[in-house]
Chain A
């Protein structure tokens, strides 16, 4: 069985978590805006404070989530997330299967110069796929 918090509590905690992130994001935007008008001697301080505010917002979000045990998603939302992940991994697999050998072939033969940005995307997706397979193995191992 999963968390039995009432949906009212779940909403309240989720609101608090959103507010925490919101304050962090507003903080970084406000500090960035202030840095534009601040004297150059203290400009960096505003930027550091802004990023610090953002990190604090994220930490607040994670803190509330961990301390309250609030379940962020109900079962349908979790299923949506699972399905989304499956589609994304399918796309990564398709790109890796077709684009990676093509990139190696084109690079070796020199028929066409593949732009570095496209090569970066192809290899980045392949690494992301590798990472997701490793995570899959880890999760599967824990569920055995």
Chain B
């Protein structure tokens, strides 16, 4: 699933580790999400959206045609 986590994170000026710490996952998990190798759970998606003060839809772009 495509996402804009990296854009939001870089706009906020924080590292993957700092973002991971904020949402209680490892740096590797943030990296995997940004590289679109791993789709986060609904719970983590909402945590990320809340952290960036945005919506899940703004962060994630599911390609429903797949």
Contact = CB atoms under 8 A, between A and B. Distances in A.
A76 interface: yes
A6 B21 contact: yes
B26 to A, nearest CB: 5
Interface stretch (B1-9, B35-43, B48-56): B35-43
Contacts, number: 33
Contacts of B32: 76
B25 A74 contact: yes
A113 interface: no
A74 B29 contact: yes
Contacts of B44: 75
A7 B29 contact: no
Interface string B14-35: 0000001100111011001000
Given A7-B20, A7-B24, A1 B38 contact: no
A8 interface: yes
A6 B32 CA distance: 20
B38 A6 contact: no
Contacts of B29: 74-77
A106 interface: no
For the complex of A and B, 9 pairs with smallest distance between CB atoms:
A74-B25, A76-B29, A7-B21, A76-B38, A75-B41, A74-B26, A74-B29, A7-B24, A76-B32
Given A6-B21, A7-B25, 4 more contacts: A75-B29, A75-B43, A76-B28, A76-B38
14 contacts: A1-B43, A3-B24, A6-B21, A7-B26, A74-B24, A74-B26, A75-B25, A75-B41, A75-B43, A75-B44, A76-B25, A76-B29, A76-B32, A77-B29
